[in-house]
Structure 1
Amino acid sequence: MDRLHNTIRPYAWGSRTAIAELTGRRPGSEPEAELWMGAHPGDPSRLDRGDGLVGLDAVIAADPEAELGRPTVERFGQTLPFLFKILAAGEPLSIQVHPNLEQARAGFADEESRGVPLDARQRNYKDPNHKPEAICALTPFTGLCGFRSPAAAAELLELLDVDELAPVVGALRTQPANEALRQALVQILGLAAADAARIVPRAAAALREAAVAAEKAGDHERAVELADYADVEKSFPGDVGVLAGLLLNHVRLVPGQALYLGAGVPHAYLHGLGVELMANSDNVLRAGLTPKHIDVPELLKVTLFEPQAPAVLRPEPVPDGHGEQLYPCPIDEFRLSRYQGGTDRIPTETPQILLCTAGTVELRDATGAQLTLRPGESAFLPAGAPAPEAVGPDSTLFRATVRL
């Protein structure tokens, strides 16, 4: 068992308090957005096996089979196939889409062949991997996920009573679903900056008025949804992403609930603290709510233009899993589960990262090794390590590993 020393990334949308409060620290002056756990070369975790802190990526590269196990290496290659995070959204993240594996490989190879630097602002593909992901709420968590039905999107846009959006509504009302959603997104993203600066504040004001009306009518859930859409404009005034977000489903998670997001599904996280697990990639195509690069043609190539309701995941007990509760995700590169309280036996057939998010967890194995984890602290267990017991009344321990 190796304690991990992890990096917190200070993106502008991060919370100034959430990760600090989780870890029992005094909040700093900068936003804290993501705490990374894993072997991604962008910010690998570090561990100490007696010679000082060394990156987990370097430890794995020195002996992949010893750290990952032969089955994992044969199935996924010589690096940890997942990236684990604590994500703290104080403001909305960009509306984004992730490529599938074939698209990522092709996009990465193309940009490499054209000599686009990895750190270039216009770079779309940072690596040749896909990025399916799951987010599990630690606090009430709000997001946008997947396209609404064209009819529902048209109804919401009509509510705004903005004449300039009539062509978007027309496409949603008259075209087949996939083409309707594609045309609507293209038209919104194609708005001139001057037009967006005029339209977006009017749309936000109309949403706020509709939220007040819904609350007066006793429809609290609808009022919250409309207010959440309107609040996005406070962080991104004049941004076409405010309008693009209206094409997406609104979702609110309570602590313990999760979402799985596959390739091509547009989404944005608006507010909350969560545990995020994904394939080991940093590939993002953006559609708005960001000052970063937006490549509309490439975005359209990877976006799945299909209406779909968000599939909220709840943890399911694993038969004979010694207290393990699994979040069922249709992906092999990662597997997300949790343990809550008591004494639980952690299997070690595969490489894994254990993260404490509540209480105190004592890890003890048959060799006498012990490791204490407090909220926000994590450990790496190589494949084949002695299986530890996790002891911690009133604790929560998340487990990130692979599925073979």
Structure 2
Amino acid sequence: MPQPDLPPATPMRLATTIRPYDWGSVTALPELFGTEPTGKPQAELWMGAHPGAPSTVGGVPLGDLIARDPAATLGEPVAARFGPALPYLLKVLAIERPLSLQVHPTTEQAQAGYAEENARAIPLDDYARTYKDASHKPEMVCAITPFHGLCGFRAPADAADLLDRLGLPGLRPWIDALGGGEPARALRTVFAAMLDDAARPLRAEAERALLDSRDPGLVVYGDIARACPGDPGIIAALLLNHVRLSPGQALYLGAGVPHAYLGGIGVEIMANSDNVLRCGLTSKHVDVPELMRVVDFTPSAPHLVEPARDAPGAYDYRPPAPEFALSRYEPAGDEGRSLPGGLPQIVLCVEGEVRLGEDLTLRPGQSAFIPAGAPSTRFFCKGTMYRARPGAFTL
């Protein structure tokens, strides 16, 4: 492997990896980026330094470049706060069928779980491994196309109403449990019962009812049943809010919030972690006991992030996470603008063309890393560009 040189204080083109998960689209990313389809699902384009699929510069992993000189690549404040590693991971998601019904841990939960699995000598790439690193994983997705998913628990009364509309007498104990008592406790009780093996016959009955239903409020859950036949997460999904994003809208997810993206293309940014606890809608490892320990059962509305408009065609998303922030640029013309220096930034071209400095041009699907040591970078954007960077934090 090439030995990393000290990184130049200029933008550097990234070579990136697309993950071929089974929920991905065969055609969406090729159509968006103007590339040839492979005939296989293309689910996630990763940009960053996570060891699961690190971006490279001239064949050298980005994490290796950063480790050689964290102060020059990350900037001293970022390196002091997060250590010698890029604190965020940027992705493009292309979702054809539901992602897993999942939740992410807090930092403390991740550290404890990671240490415990290490102590049991479970390899990081083992199917049964739950904690891949010791970090929390707050995340935000910004819709490129119409995008929808499940996010956070509904109010128990609303969930009870959806179950009641299935018209199944066997669901009455769950409906009644949701109708009284402390909301989080009621949701915990019913969610656990839905995922229990003893509920398999009732889940199958509810799945058939969803497939046959013409109720507009149940259509999305019928679609989930068609995509994931026989999965225990189908009925549990009825307890979650269904949220739709128009292009440019963004959704933030903190620790403990249950969610499952269902369809669309979006730019996702998160803390540099791959910790996912799943309970359904997946062929990957499921860990219901650990998910039940981590999940927050408090009913909550989806957390939409409204962008600040810093300039015409510039939208800045500032979620409550210190690791990341995201900007979207769609200028009406091709006038030049400047990106401030002092922060480790990743620039992604989604549409049209982006020119960074004098000689680096990005086309759809291409990205570049700008080290903190680079001065203010002039750019020209004819189309759509995203910029990832650390968020606001206090040392």
TM-score range, shorter chain: over 0.9
**Does the 8 Å CA contact 1:15/1:33 hold for their aligned counterparts?**
yes
How far the C-alpha of 1:168 sits from its partner, in A, is: 1.6
Residue 8 of structure 2: aligned partner: none
Residue 401 of structure 1: aligned partner: 389
Indicate which of 359, 371, 379 corresponds to 1:382: 371
Match for 2:272: what amino acid?
Answer: N
Indicate which of 205, 214, 219 corresponds to 1:209: 214
Output one character per residue of 1:326-367: Cα deviation in whole Å (capped at 9) or x when no partner: 112001101111121242211121101001111111112xxx
**Does the 8 Å CA contact 2:210/2:218 hold for their aligned counterparts?**
no
**Does the 8 Å CA contact 2:66/2:84 hold for their aligned counterparts?**
yes
Residue 63 of structure 1: aligned partner: 69
CA 1:197/1:304 → structure 2, altered by over 3 Å: closer, same or farther? closer
Residue 5 of structure 2: aligned partner: none
Output one character per residue of 1:17-66: Cα deviation in whole Å (capped at 9) or x when no partner: 11111110122210000000000011100112xxxx11101111122112
Residue 326 of structure 1: aligned partner: 316
Residue 262 of structure 2: aligned partner: 270
**Does the 8 Å CA contact 1:199/1:238 hold for their aligned counterparts?**
no
**Does the 8 Å CA contact 1:200/1:233 hold for their aligned counterparts?**
no
**Does the 8 Å CA contact 2:24/2:43 hold for their aligned counterparts?**
yes
1:227-246 map, 5 Å: 227-246=219-238
Give the whole-Å Cα distance in 1 for the aligned partners of 2:52 and 2:254: 22
Residue 41 of structure 1: aligned partner: 51
**Does the 8 Å CA contact 2:347/2:367 hold for their aligned counterparts?**
yes
How far the C-alpha of 1:171 sits from its partner, in A, is: 1.4
**Does the 8 Å CA contact 1:196/1:239 hold for their aligned counterparts?**
no
Indicate which of 359, 363, 371 corresponds to 1:370: 359
Give the whole-Å Cα distance in 1 for the aligned partners of 2:295 and 2:188: 9
Structure 1 residue runs of 4+, over 4 Å off?
Answer: none
RMSD of equivalent CA atoms:
1.5
Residue 305 of structure 1: aligned partner: 297
1:21-40 map, 5 Å: 21-40=31-50
CA 1:330/1:241 → structure 2, altered by over 3 Å: closer, same or farther? same
How far the C-alpha of 1:291 sits from its partner, in A, is: 1.7
Indicate which of 162, 167, 177 corresponds to 1:161: 167
2:218 paired with 1:226: yes
Residue 258 of structure 1: aligned partner: 250
Give the whole-Å Cα distance in 2 for the aligned partners of 1:269 and 1:385: 36
2:280 paired with 1:288: yes
Match for 1:353: what amino acid?
Answer: I
> 3-state SS of the aligned residue for 1:360?
strand
2:354 paired with 1:361: yes
Indicate which of 320, 325, 330 corresponds to 1:340: 330
Give the whole-Å Cα distance in 2 for the aligned partners of 1:167 and 1:38: 47
> 3-state SS of the aligned residue for 1:278?
strand
**Does the 8 Å CA contact 1:65/1:73 hold for their aligned counterparts?**
yes
Match for 2:308: what amino acid?
Answer: E
TM-score normalised by the chain length of structure 1:
0.91
**Does the 8 Å CA contact 2:200/2:232 hold for their aligned counterparts?**
no
How far the C-alpha of 1:151 sits from its partner, in A, is: 0.3
**Does the 8 Å CA contact 2:211/2:226 hold for their aligned counterparts?**
no
TM-score normalised by the chain length of structure 2:
0.93
How far the C-alpha of 1:142 sits from its partner, in A, is: 1.1
How far the C-alpha of 1:112 sits from its partner, in A, is: 0.7
**Does the 8 Å CA contact 2:21/2:43 hold for their aligned counterparts?**
yes
How far the C-alpha of 1:183 sits from its partner, in A, is: 0.6
How far the C-alpha of 1:191 sits from its partner, in A, is: 3.7
**Does the 8 Å CA contact 2:348/2:385 hold for their aligned counterparts?**
yes
Output one character per residue of 1:288-344: Cα deviation in whole Å (capped at 9) or x when no partner: 1012222111101110111111122232123xx686421120011011111212422
Residue 6 of structure 1: aligned partner: 16
1:48-127 map, 5 Å: 48=58, 53-127=59-133
